Amino acid sequence: MIEVRDICIGDGLPKVCVSITGENRETIINEAEGIMLKKPDIVEWRFDCAKEYNYAIVEDILMNLRAVLRETPLLFTFRTVKEGGMRSISVESYKKLYETVASTGLVDFIDVEGISNGETAQAIIKDIKDNGVKVITSYHDFDKTPSKDELREILDTLESKGGDIVKLAVMPHDFEDVKNLIDVTKEYKDNTNKDIISMSMSELGMISRVCGKADGSCVTFASVIKASAPGQVPIKDMKKYLKNIEEFDDSKNMFLIGFMGTGKTTISNILGILTGMKVYDMDEEIVKKAGMSINDIFEKFGENHFRDIETEVVCELSKKEGAIISCGGGAVLRSENVEYMKNNGNIFLLRATPETVYERVKDSKDRPILNEDMSIDHISALMNKRRDIYEECANVKVDTDDLSAFEVAMEIIGKSKK
């Protein structure tokens, strides 16, 4: 936990930081004024985005920024091209720049690239800290997400340089990469209790920017005018998301129901990451119980047998406490299943049009009910038969057609207050 001015980083909600990316004195100050209207917790000046560059100008701009920011902490960063920034700089000039900035007494934090600066990083950090300024020791990879073991090693190296907070920003190629970053962040926070900031960039990684309550990441970067890195969420949305997560009721079971392809499995997994609640997928439990795939159960024993196992699983999973349960699309067809759900939690219905469902499931062969006739007409006919049952038992309903999976999950969280 770090106290700076009026804020306590690492305590309570993740703090929201917005970056100034202006190119000259005027745009930098104007941007700062615009950003302050949105009440960020921290402001970062990305000095590498500025075109003018001599020490006298830097100090003059810092003085002006300080006046605009009042008691809001200021983070000073020169992001090098090597780590996704706008300008290159020699290690010697970087060290000199940071020493000069630290000695002005006008900034609260400085971001030091812990790995690109090699052996010199330690000396740079020591000097900054001797001036009473806190250090974020960072590592950025705009191309990929290193493996979990590599991420752990990077964190050890960053920590060994002697800063106050470590920061990891990496690019995911698939959702597994996003989960790896979140897992390693949580593990680091749980094992060391030291402060960490982490983010998986791009739209794919958006979830990592709002899940600080679950994984321990203590600062998140949001945008006001222009994003300073891919995947940043506008500050207004970010504040709403963080508040909704804070007020979310994780004490009751959540049953996600809806037609095939409405996103029950996907959204349940995202909700699990955002809330830290345990997730169960009925279909997965059925496969475990039967020792064979859903297609094989249907083929060998017929739908009725599948529905019998499904009822056993609904009964078992209803006994969980504070769990997210992703139901199969037909799990509400038996009224006794609905009773189990109603008596043991809240029911969330995901809706989608037949066209959307078709687009989402057309290439999958895992749903025996659709396998014989994968068409919008068939989906539409089956959906019409089931619609009333879905609509009658749900406590909360979400139309998913125009929302990303992340947005669906955030909407559910917003509708599940304590």
Ligand X SMILES: O=C(O)C1=C[C@@H](OP(=O)(O)O)[C@@H](O)[C@H](O)C1
DSSP state letter for 362: T
Residue 189 contact partner, candidates ligand ADP, ligand X, Mg ion, none, CB within 5 to 8 A by sort of partner: none
Q: Which of residues 352-391 bind ligand X (CB under 6 A)?
A: 367-369
Do 186 and 148 touch, CB atoms closer than 8 A?
no
* Strand pairing report for 253-257 and 233-234: unpaired
Residue 114 contact partner, candidates ligand X, ligand ADP, Mg ion, none, CB within 5 to 8 A by sort of partner: none
Q: Binding marks (x or -) toward ligand ADP, 231..260, rule CB under 6 A?
A: ---------------------------x-x
12 labeled part of a ligand binding site: no
Compute the least distance from the CB of residue 340 to ligand X, in Å: 16
Compute the least distance from the CB of residue 380 to ligand X, in Å: 14
Do 72 and 41 touch, CB atoms closer than 8 A?
yes
- Phi, psi torsion values for 264, nearest 5 degrees: -55, -50
Catalytic residue among 95, 161, 167, 239: 167
Q: What share of the chain is helix, strand, coil (3-state, %, to 5)?
A: 50, 20, 30
Q: Which of residues 128-167 bind ligand ADP (CB under 6 A)?
A: none
Compute the least distance from the CB of residue 406 to ligand ADP, in Å: 8
Q: Which of residues 280-339 bind ligand X (CB under 6 A)?
A: 283, 294, 328-330
| Residue 227 structure tokens | 């994003």
State yes or no: residue 293 binds Mg ion (CB under 5 A): no
Number of residues lying near ligand ADP (CB under 6 A): 15
Q: In what order do the strands lie in the sheet with 74-77?
A: 196-200, 165-170, 134-141, 109-113, 74-77, 42-46, 15-20, 219-223, 233-234
Q: Binding marks (x or -) toward Mg ion, 222..261, rule CB under 5 A?
A: ----------------------------------------
266 labeled part of a ligand binding site: yes
Residue type, 96: K
Catalytic-residue membership of 140:
yes
Which residue's Cβ lies closest to ligand ADP? 263
State yes or no: residue 157 binds Mg ion (CB under 5 A): no
45 labeled part of a ligand binding site: yes
Nearer to Mg ion, 151 or 361 (CB): 361
State yes or no: residue 265 binds Mg ion (CB under 5 A): yes
Q: What is the CA radius of gyration of the chain?
A: 25
State yes or no: residue 170 binds ligand ADP (CB under 6 A): no
Q: Which of helix, strand or coil describes residue 55?
A: helix
Residue 384: how many CB atoms within 10 A of its CB? 10
State yes or no: residue 393 binds ligand X (CB under 6 A): no
CA distance 126 to 246: 36
Catalytic-residue membership of 288:
no
307 labeled part of a ligand binding site: yes
Ranges of beta strands (E only) in 38-120 are: 42-46, 74-77, 109-113
Number of residues lying near ligand X (CB under 6 A): 11
Angstrom CA distances, 388 to 337, 339, 393, stand at 16, 16, 9
- Please give the residue ranges that form the binding site for Mg ion (CB under 5 A): 264-265
Instruction: List binding-site positions for Mg(2+).
Output: 265
The catalytic residue positions are: 140, 167
